[in-house]
Amino acid sequence: MWKILFVSLALVFSCCPVLYAGPALDIPLDFSQPDGTSFKARKHGDEFQNWTELESGHSVVRNMTTREWEYALQNPDGTLRGSGKKVVPNREAPREIPPGLKPPRNYTAEKEHSKSLQNIYLQRMPGSSSTTSSQSKTVASYAPGDWSPVPVSGNRNVLLILVNFSDRTLLTTAAAWHDSVFSTTAGVKSVANYYKDNSFNTLSVSPLAHNQAGSPAGVVTVSVPYVHPYNGTSENTWVAAAINAAGTFVNFAALDSNSNGYIDRSEAIVYLIPAGYEESGSSKTPSVWAHTATYSSGGLLAAGKRFPAFGMNGELNNSDIRHPIGVVAHEMGHQFCGLPDLYDTSNPVRNSGLGYFSLMAGGSWGRDSGEESGATPTNLDAWSREYLGWTTPVTPASAVPLVLAHSLSSPNSAYKIINPPVSASEYYLVENRQPVGWDRGLRGKTGFSSSWAGGLLVMHIDITAGTVGSNDINRYTANGGRQGVVPVQASTASCDMLADGATCSGRPTTLYYSGNNADWSPLTTPNSNYYGEIVSNFSVLGISSPAASMTANISFAAPVVIQLPAAIDNDAWAVTTGGNGNWSGQSANTHDGVDAAQSAALLDNQSSWMRTTVNGPGTLNFWWKVSSERNYDYLKFYLDGVEQAGVIGISGEVGWNQVTGINIPDGSHEIKWVYSKDASTGLGSDAGWVDQVVFSGRYPLTFSFAGNGGGSVNSIIPVSPTINCISGSACNPVDFSVGTDVVLTALTDQNSTFTGWSPPSVCSGTGNCAVTMDSAKSVSGTFTLAPLVTVLERPGVGFNTIAEAYGDLSTADGSTIQIRINTSPFEAVTFNRNIAIALKGGFDAYFSPVNSGYSNMGTVTISAGSLTAERIVIY
C-alpha cells in the first residue's frame, strides 16, 4: 500500500465534499527513515495537490509497507508511486528518476469547492437567506469582475471536536484548545482575538454549549472505533462517527433553528482536531492535511442532521506540541467568511501569490522571533478586509499627502488608488504593514528578523480575475497569466514572489519605504500602470521611512520632469544651470535611491554647470559621482568661483562619495558644480552627478533667568555644542546647526523651585525644554525662591517663619508644620495655644522629605498644648 502526498478526493469522499485547503509550511523539514537516517525535504501544495520534494527537485513518497521514503515515479494517470529506490541522505538521486514530478490537481473537487464559495457569497448578499436552502441558487448572473464587498458581521458559534482513534490518542487537552480558539483575553493569541482585531470588532467567535463534564465550553472530546485516516479510514466515516459521539453532549436538534434538517454556518461551525500531526507542516505520522470540507448540495449525515461543512487540522505540529492557531484561523477564513485562498492555486503552481502578507496565503504560518510556525498568523490583507466589509479604503481623487497608520489601526487605514475613466475593475491598495499586533508574525519568517521595521505593501487588484465568490482569483493559469490579488514588489533583488517557480514568499524589501524604494509611478520599476501597460497616470512619491505612521504624496497627473531643486533634495532653492548644456533631474542614477542631478551631454571642450546661493554661516555637505575620461574630464566644485582646497575634483570611474564640512562664511555665497571635458575623447557615461546636497545653517539659542530663585540650565542634547548657565552669571548665546533639536534641563538650588519655561511658543511646563533650531530662539526659565515653612493641611500656602505658620493654624488639633532643610537664622518659637501640633523638618524646596535631612531652629518654649517633633535640631 502506498501513501502518496496527493489525496484523491473522489476516492476518499463518497459524497464528494469540497475542500478549502491550507498551504504547506515553506521551510525544510527533517524526514526520518526506519534505519535512523534522515534527510531534508519540503512540503508543497495544498489539500487539492500536495507532494514532498527534496532540494534537488525530486519528489518522494512513503512506502507504507516498509515505511521507507522512496523516490517517486509517475503513473499514467499522473499520480505518484514509489520507485523502490530508497532516499539515502547525501547521495544523489538515481539518474533514471526525473525531478519535478508532481501529482495532478483534483479539479473536480476544486470545482465543487468553488460552487460552495459562491454559495457563501450569495448568502452574504442583502436579502438572501442564510440557510443551506440558498445553496440551490446560481451564480450564473454574476460575471467576472463582480468581487464586490459584502459585509460579514455578527457571531459565529463554533464546536471543536477532539478525536481519539483506535490506534492514536490525543496528547493535548480540551482546555488548551479552548484558549487557543475562544479566549478573548487581551494579548492572548487566539482565533477569536484574531478575527476580533481584523474585523474591527464586527465578527465574534463564541464556544458552543455542551454538557460534557470536565470540558470547557465549545470543546468536546470523543473516541471513534476506527484507525487514523492516515492508515485508511475514509473521512466521511470517521467524521460522521465523531459528530455522532459529540451528539451525546450537544443538542444538535436545538441548533437547527429553522428546522431545515441542516446545521448551517449561521447556527454552528464544526471543527475537528484528529489526534496525530498536521501534514501541511510536519514530516511525522499519522497526519491529516488541514482543510475545510463543504458540500455544494446536501451534507454529511450525522447525529440526525446534515452538516454542509466542517473543518479540521492535525492536533500536533512537527515539534510534537499543540498545533498553533494559524491553520485554524486560515480554515475559519473559509468557514466564517468564504474567503478564497490567495496563494497561487494553479497546476503547476507558478508563484507565491500574496505570500507571507495574508492569512489566506503563507501568512497562516506567521511566527514572531523564537515562536513555532503559525503561532502568530499575519494580518488579513487589505483586499480580504475590503471584500468582507471590514476595511473601507480611503480613495483619494486628487493630489494629497497620504498618511498611513498600521493596517489594523482603523477600518480606514488603507488607501485605494483607482482611475475609473481608465479602469473600474483594476486598482491598487496600499497599507502600512508594521511589526505590531498580528504582523509581528512576519518577524520570524525567512528574510525577516526582530529588527524588521515595516513598510508600505502595495497590492495590484484585478476583480475580473476568476469568478465571483470562487477560489480562483489568484490562479495564474486561469486568468490569462495574471492574478487578482498580488503584491507590487518594491524590490525583487532578494526575492521575486511572482517569478515563475518562485519559492520565496516575501522579504522586507518587498515593501516600499525610504532607503529601499520610495517612489512608485508610471516611470519607475516596478511601475504603476495597468496590465497591458495601460498608463495609469498616478504616482505615489516620497514614501517615508518605516514607521507607525508613514507618509507619501499621491499624484494623478502624468509624470513630470524632476526639477533640479528636488533632484539635489532642496525644493526651496533657486537652482540655475547653463554652459554648453543644462543639468537635469533623473532617477536612474542616484545615491538616495530617489533622484539626482546629472550633467548635460557634451562635446569636446565643453562644460555644463549647476549653481545656487546659500546664506551663511553654515556647513555644506553633498554626494557626487563621475564617469569620465580619467585625469582629463572632471567634475569640480566651486565656492564664489574658487575651487576649494580639500575638495579635489573627481575624474574617471568614481562611485558615489560624500564631501563634508565645507565651511560657508556669513553672508550670501554662490555654490557651483561644473562638469567639463578636454579637447578629445569621451569615456564611460561622460557625465557627473550630484545628490543629497545638505546646507546646515546655524542659529543662536539664548537663555535667560527669571524669578527670585536660583539654579542652573544645561543642554543635554546635543553633546556639542552645549549651553551651561548658572543664575547670577553671564549666559552667552550658543549657535546650533539648523534643524538641531536642543533639549534643555533645569536644576534648582536647595532654596528654589523651578516654575516653568517661556515663551510658550518655544516651550512650556517644568519638564525638559525641547527646542528645534529652525530660527534664532530665546528661552527663559523661572526659578522661584521657596517659602521656609508650610503647613501640611494648607497646600500651596507658604510662610516666612515658624511663628507665622503657628499663628495661622486653626484651633483644631493635628496640624503639621513643615520646615525646609538648613533654615536660617535659627528661629526661637513659643508654642502657647491649647492645640496639639507636629513639627517636621528635613524637606527640600518642593517640601518633599529628604533622606537624612534635618531642619535647624532655636529655643523651643511650650506653654500650652502639645508638640511632637521629627527631624528637628534645636540650638
The pLDDT tens digits of the residues spanning 760-786 come to 999 999 999 999 998 889 999 999 999
For 379-408, what is the mean pLDDT?
Answer: 96
Confidence tier at 576 by pLDDT (50, 70, 90): very high
Confidence tier at 125 by pLDDT (50, 70, 90): low
**C-alpha neighbours within 13 Å on the C-beta side of residue 248:** 11
Strands 203-207 and 154-164, by their bridges, are parallel
Residue-level pLDDT at 118: 64
Cell numbers that stand for 445 in this block: 519568517
What type of residue is 556?
Answer: F
The better pLDDT of the pair 309, 601 is held by: 309
Residue-level pLDDT at 6: 34
- At residue 205's C-alpha, the angle toward residues 199 and 208, to 5°, is 165
Confidence tier at 10 by pLDDT (50, 70, 90): very low
First to last CA, the chain: 104
326 vs 310: CA distance, rounded Å: 17
Q: Is the pLDDT of residue 58 over 70?
A: yes
> Mean pLDDT in the chain?
89
Q: Where is mean pLDDT largest: 474-483, 574-583, 818-827, 857-866? A: 574-583
Confidence tier at 480 by pLDDT (50, 70, 90): low
CB 676 within 8 A of CB 604: no
270-to-235, 336, 647, 759, 841 alpha-carbon distances in Å? 14, 11, 75, 66, 72
Residue-level pLDDT at 562: 87
Q: Choose the weakest-confidence range: 425-434, 702-711, 835-844.
A: 835-844
25 vs 42: CA distance, rounded Å: 8
For 378-395, what is the mean pLDDT?
Answer: 97
220 vs 178: CA distance, rounded Å: 10
What DSSP letter does each residue of 271-287 carry, written as one string? EEEESSEEGGG-S-SSE
CB 507 within 8 A of CB 355: no
Confidence tier at 722 by pLDDT (50, 70, 90): very high
Residue-level pLDDT at 8: 33
Strands 154-164 and 269-274, by their bridges, are parallel
Residue-level pLDDT at 293: 86
CB 322 within 8 A of CB 172: yes
Alpha carbon 151 to its chain's center: 24
Residue-level pLDDT at 824: 66
For 730-748, what is the mean pLDDT?
Answer: 92
Cross-strand pairs, 634: 651, 676
The answer for residues whose C-beta is within 8 angstroms of residue 157's C-beta and 6 or more apart is 206, 207, 208, 255, 267, 268, 269
**E-assigned strand segments in 340-454:** 401-405, 415-419, 423-433
Helix segments in 151-307, DSSP class H: 174-182, 191-198, 235-246, 252-255
Residue-level pLDDT at 19: 52
Q: Is the pLDDT of residue 22 over 80?
A: no
What is the per-residue pLDDT across 494-540, written as a single tens digit (0 to 9) for each? 899 998 888 899 999 999 998 888 889 887 778 899 998 888 889 99
Residue-level pLDDT at 18: 47
Determine the 3-state secondary structure of 664 from DSSP: strand
> Per CATH, is 596-691 categorized as 2.60.40?
no
Residue-level pLDDT at 126: 60
What type of residue is 63?
Answer: N
CB 628 within 8 A of CB 598: no
Q: Choose the weakest-confidence range: 6-15, 617-626, 728-737.
A: 6-15
Residue-level pLDDT at 662: 93
Residue-level pLDDT at 9: 33
602 vs 585: CA distance, rounded Å: 16
**Statement: the pTM of the whole predicted model exceeds 0.85:** no
What is the per-residue pLDDT across 75-106, written as a single tens digit (0 to 9) for each? 999 999 999 999 999 999 999 999 999 999 87
516 vs 519: CA distance, rounded Å: 10
Percent of the chain with pLDDT over 70: 91
Residue-level pLDDT at 114: 64
Pick from 428, 419, 425: nearest CA to 398: 419
Where are the domains positioned within the chain? 2-107, 145-337, 355-555, 596-691, 707-785, 789-874
Cell numbers that stand for 9 in this block: 478526493
Residue-level pLDDT at 2: 38
Confidence tier at 244 by pLDDT (50, 70, 90): very high
Pick from 112, 62, 61, 31: nearest CA to 296: 112
Residue-level pLDDT at 361: 96
Percent of the chain with pLDDT over 90: 66
What is the per-residue pLDDT across 264-302, written as a single tens digit (0 to 9) for each? 988 999 999 999 999 999 999 999 999 988 776 788 999
Q: What letter would DSSP give residue 849? A: B
Residue-level pLDDT at 274: 99
